[in-house]
Amino acid sequence: MSYAELYRIEGDRVVCTACARYCRLKDGQVGLCGVRKNAGGRLVLMVYGRIIASHVDPIEKKPLVHFWPGSSVLSIATTGCNWLCRYCQNFDISQRRKIEGVEVTPEEVVEAALRVEANGVTYTYNEPTIFMEFARDVGIMARSRGLFNTFVSNGYMTPESVRVAAQFLDAITVDFKGNGNPEFLRKYAGVPGPEPIYETLLELRRAGIHVEVTDLVVPEVGVGDRLEDARKLARWIADNLGPDTPLHFLRFHPDYMMSDVPPTPVETLERHRNAALEEGLRYAYVGNVPGHRYEDTYCPGCGRPVIRRRGFDVIEWNLDEDNRCKFCGHPIPIVGKHLEKGDRFFHVPMR
């Protein structure tokens, strides 16, 4: 347990400023996330240094496909979450409201990442915004040891939390659910609406953090797989984040309280992906369908596959040393280079 920093005092309430819910907490109350508590007029982060899950993952699993392809990360999580997704595949930790986990220091997390020869640390499995202060302490130390930092996030952040993230974060996957449809978010994720996510994306881009967007396409609920919503999302990304921003359409798998909903038809994902290109994006992907041709990166110049993937593995690399297409020379916006297993690198200077 440690005191948090992302909060302000309003009368007899502590207002948490980590996420866009801005929970107003009386003494003794805990935020919806289950990990941030008003303790005597100060906000406490009850999961500081309490890791409930850790695993070594390929960066492509996040999914980040334009950021140090082929690299590996040490993924860590705490309990709790600021969303209430009825389909969450990590519900056993994200919806757990009992503080549990192994006690670790930031130094121990970084040493563990170096020991398993990871290239970075990823904060994932639950929403990392809710343990931002701990992530910040790990992240700054990780950078000092040549490791990068990435988030897998729902993007329901605040300008205050983005400013903290900018101190250490290198890349982020922001996951829209159901194309960001407000009705879907209210009914299936317990979120008032998507507006704070759009503002977060703008703040992240202004901070110079590499951004990739995912969209979990949930079928047969009426509001989770509308093609017009996918077009609207893609158009917004192209206009506001730029046409080179990767957008991933992810296949839904039944889980938790939506185990009766079937997986997303692959044809739906393909239509969404093609619509995103029509709306101005240059890089759109189909995810959670291993072996699909739209896992690959295609050159906007000549249309040929420049990075071929199967699942989380890079199986063909057709870019030169400057990340230009080997066939036509078109530049491909990849951060870093392709790392083979065991490759190490030194982090670029901090922004």
**How confident is the model over 266-275, as pLDDT tens digits?**
999 999 999 9
Structural domains of the chain, count = 3
pLDDT tens-digit series, residues 233-273: 999 999 999 999 999 999 999 999 999 999 999 999 999 99
Q: What is the pLDDT of residue 324?
A: 98
How high does pLDDT run on average in the chain?
A: 95
Q: Is 15 a residue whose pLDDT tops 50?
A: yes
CATH code of the domain covering residue 246: 3.20.20.70
Specify if 348 maps to a domain.
no
Same domain, 39 and 145: no
- 37 pLDDT more than 50: yes
Q: Based on the domain organization, do 138 and 81 belong to the same domain?
A: yes
Verify that 223 and 306 share a domain, yes or no.
no
pLDDT at 221: 86
In a domain, 265, yes or no: yes
Token pair in block for residue 133? 């202060």
Q: Is the pLDDT of residue 210 over 80?
A: yes
Share of the chain above pLDDT 70, in %: 97
**Residue range(s) defining the domain that contains residue 11:** 2-45
Verify that 248 and 188 share a domain, yes or no. Answer: yes
Residues 35 and 54 grouped into a single domain: no
pLDDT exceeds cutoff 50 at 351: no
Q: Is residue 153 part of a domain?
A: yes
How does residue 343 score in pLDDT terms, banded at 50, 70 and 90?
low
Whether 179 has a pLDDT exceeding 90, the answer reads no
| Residues annotated in a binding site | 81, 85, 88
CB 318 within 8 A of CB 304: yes
Task: Assess if residue 128 is contained within a domain.
Answer: yes
To the nearest 10°, report the CA torsion of 62, 85, 224, 132. -40
The pLDDT value given to residue 338: 93
For residues 101 and 50, the answer to whether their CB atoms sit within 8 Å is yes
Residues 24 and 109 in one domain: no
Residue 350: its pLDDT value, please? 40
Tell me, yes or no, whether 345 lies in a domain: no
Instruction: Kindly state whether residues 8 and 151 are assigned to the same domain.
Output: no
Residue 17, domain member (yes or no): yes
Tell me what pLDDT residue 30 has: 98
Beta strands in 34-118 (DSSP E): 36-39, 42-45, 50-51, 53-58, 72-77, 102-103
- Helical residues (DSSP H) of 241-301, grouped into ranges: 266-278
Nearest partner of 164 among 145, 125, 144, 138, judged by Cα = 138
Q: Do residues 83 and 175 both lie within one domain?
A: yes
pLDDT at 66: 98
pLDDT of residue 348: 42
For residue 127, pLDDT over 60 is answered with: yes
pLDDT tens for 128-151 read 999 999 999 999 999 999 999 999
Residue 114 pLDDT more than 90? yes
* Window from 37-41, 168-172, 336-340 with minimum mean pLDDT: 336-340
**Gap between the Cα atoms of 132 and 115, Å rounded:** 24
pLDDT bucket at 94, cuts 50 / 70 / 90: very high
Residue 340: per-residue pLDDT: 79
- 343, part of any domain: no
User: Distance between CA 137 and CA 12 in Å, rounded?
Assistant: 29
Q: Are residues 23 and 149 in the same domain?
A: no
Do 112 and 161 belong to one domain? yes
Q: Residues forming the annotated binding site for [4Fe-4S] cluster? A: 81, 85, 88
> Do residue 133 and residue 233 come from a single domain?
yes
Segment 290-305 shows an average pLDDT of 98
Q: Which amino acid is at 111?
A: E
- 185 plus 40 within the same structural domain: no
Query: Looking at the domain assignment, is residue 6 inside a domain?
Result: yes
Q: What is the mean pLDDT of residues 12-41?
A: 98
